[in-house]
Amino acid sequence: MILYFSGTGNSLAIARRLAERLDEQVMSLYDAAGKDLTHEKRIGLVFPTYNLEAPKAVRTLVPQLHLSPSSHVWIVITCGAQTNNAIWTVRSLLRKQGVRVGYCHKIRVPDSSAIAFGRNPNDQAWKFDKFASRLTTIGDELAAGRKRLHFAGFDPFGWLISHTRLEEKMGALAQPGVNEAACIGCGICAKVCPQENIALTDKKAHIGNACTWCLGCVHFCPQQAIMVNGKTVAKEQQYHHPDIQLKDMLKR
């Protein structure tokens, strides 16, 4: 079983490709939380790095997993550049439940938060070449049952961010906000939001306080009506992994 969290489809695309390679099923971490998965011999976790850490939502969901200490557990993490403390944190959360991670690795993909800094994630499509070869390596190593811990070290800076109010401050740089004049009340953002953090009132989207900064709502809004940190995002800046379509994000 491969459990995933994904905002713009990068992590979902990898979870699916590895599922094909390893003949596994894919399940959202939200669906997996609270379920008895102790019968699963192999458990994979695929999720992104946000703000030098594992996403807040992942850090909330992982402690709710029921896994067997004898399962072979692995982590593959996506990032724009570096994973910082993300793998260390999730390994630590699993260790508290007596579950050891036997393998971890990272894959670089277009940075979905580039829009928050006025850059276009689609300009980073060159990363897909390396992505493909890294994915093949990871698939081969997992199929062979290799035990290797890549990028699993402790990063004090990442730890500091997730253990202080710094995370909220960094999150504010990627804070979504609705431009009501542009919103047509289609409800797509509310269906895409993994945190159920968007409600529709009077045919306008309203964002609550449970954001995990995945930016799914921003990238999938058909009207570009969700701003990031107060800045409007152009259609050509909207990004999702090319293998993943809106319908895939709605299935969760």
Ligand X SMILES: Cc1cc2nc3c(=O)[nH]c(=O)nc-3n(C[C@H](O)[C@H](O)[C@H](O)COP(=O)(O)O)c2cc1C
Give the C-alpha separation, 139 to 96, whole Å. 27
61 binds ligand SF4 (CB under 6 A): no
Using CB atoms within 10 A of its CB, is residue 246 exposed (0-12), middle (13-18) or buried (19+)?
middle
Site string (166-185) toward ligand SF4, x via CB under 6 A: ----------x-x----xxx
Residue 116 has which token pair? 């928050």
If contact means CB under 5 to 8 A according to the sort of partner, which of ligand X, ligand SF4, none does residue 88 touch? none
If contact means CB under 5 to 8 A according to the sort of partner, which of ligand SF4, ligand X, none does residue 8 touch? ligand X
If contact means CB under 5 to 8 A according to the sort of partner, which of ligand SF4, ligand X, none does residue 104 touch? none
- Cβ(106)–Cβ(48) below 8 Å: no
Residues 206-225 that bind ligand X (CB under 6 A): 213-215
One of 1, 46, 152, 214 touching ligand SF4 (CB under 6 A):
214
193 binds ligand SF4 (CB under 6 A): yes
Size of the site for ligand X (CB under 6 A): 24
What is 40-82 written as a DSSP string? Answer: -SEEEEEEE-BTTBS-HHHHHHGGG-B--TTSEEEEEEEESS-
One of 14, 43, 101, 225 touching ligand SF4 (CB under 6 A):
225
Contacts with ligand X by CB under 6 A lie at 6-11, 48-52, 78-82, 109, 111-113, 174, 213-215
Contacts with ligand SF4 by CB under 6 A lie at 7, 176, 178, 183-189, 192-193, 195, 197-198, 205, 207, 211-217, 221, 223, 225-226
